[in-house]
Structure 1
């Protein structure tokens, strides 16, 4: 039995946009009669039947929003999902969660499913750069993008203060006299400032920029041996990268991990080798996921205000669903360094 024909298949066969197919299905918008006939012919030829999303749009909406996000292999994804659900409930909307794997093409892997699911609009969380100038954001339903990548002005965007958050945090360490600071989670292939400073998007790239800028604003040199890429931003990646670092380099005075999942793995490996945190090595994460407070020792981490992040994503999306048609907006959260037992910054 073949797979179900989708609105995307019809658009490709008729050589039109997905939005045009949606307008034909819902009898909305303006188009040339021959365009409508071509779309209707493609629908008949392919055997397309109207899906739940199309029916719900036509009947006035479902009061459901969708969150398309990477799988729950690290704690940030379910943490953000919980916050989105909370704020959607406040607006009397339900939430559909659709996940995509980190080993595929990213966000694009999950978009096909959104056509089958009955949501009035979607929050797209992307963990990699969009291709084709953000073509994935051009959908027949309202979209808000969340993440640290360019949206090309094609949707509202909610993002984090990645550069300034890491810059100020590493600066705090440097100002206490710490010099050997490892960074876990850097983009692969970055070995100098020239290859990094021109980057305009990307969680790894922007947070690594912040790390380097903290050194540069104090006239200090970066030891690029300690700028360490990590395969897999999860606990396992944190364990592996920490082990490889300790096997090949002198133990640093501090380790800054570009998310909490890696930091939780790093603290495990440091302690397994008999190193004390924070007496021998200070450790800092990024995200302030709930697990950070209950690690041993409790993890110092950068809190990018996920409540605010989720609230703005939900509010922006519902604005669009309920009729707002203004230009694309961008919202950047603030941050707080939450100091816990894995550092000695307060002393």
Structure 2
């Protein structure tokens, strides 16, 4: 059976992306049969308010990462300089980057005419890395091309421009071999030894985030465990009647605040909960460390406030957090029920 080459699928992907984008904006894209492809892949008929404007452009579409350069992209033009520069309808160049899934564009006809007027002989046409063609820019791009078509048509009606003179001839001679576009691929030299690791991370995009999350949890748990002997010495030694209540209150409050603080992405109004938990951990570390080092002791007033007030703060803080979150969640579900009815109760619970 016939085998479909990967390059063929990449080429079709670029044409399909361009066609889908332009047709979604109401314009008309007419593809050229591959056997009759002499530097253009399709014709683009511009429309306005659902009506054809009569403005037409030819389009050359390239697909793949091989067209990347240090500053954007480039389309080879060695065999099509005369075709694209002398065309009575402008030729647009489009590059589809399959890795970042973006289209980039350039007016091939305008660029080549400007270069030839200066005596240059370009071998490729650059595309700026900011010349993105998407839903946000398509209106501006089509308007720019239609203005160019109008100016070009007017210049043809006015006739050819006068001779450029001796200065232009000198510029042509100096720039006869210049071509600043032939540069290495964008991003510089490839790093094959790191390719496997990068591909592995790309296949598991949440691996780093999950690893960092569990690393932070492990370090936090280790720090809290290391604090237990020092805190026990302070609490049980100076306030023996408090330690049965103090330890569950302190560690329970810190653990609950850290757990609630992980929801900061969904509930930004409780960001302070996570910060408060770390303040409590640092305060406990200060007290615990001071009791275990000889020749140094923490501030007595700070220790007294930390030990005596923690159970009280724990009671009020936990209740405040619990009732605050409970109230917000109840209000959210009531709004969902009022808007969508009881049929969306399960959806509301998941959201």
Identify, as 1 or 2, the structure richer in helix: 2
What TM-score do the two structures reach when normalised by structure 1?
Answer: 0.21
What TM-score do the two structures reach when normalised by structure 2?
Answer: 0.21
Q: Which has the larger radius of gyration?
A: 2
Q: Which of 1 and 2 has higher RCO (CA within 8 Å, sep 6+)?
A: 1
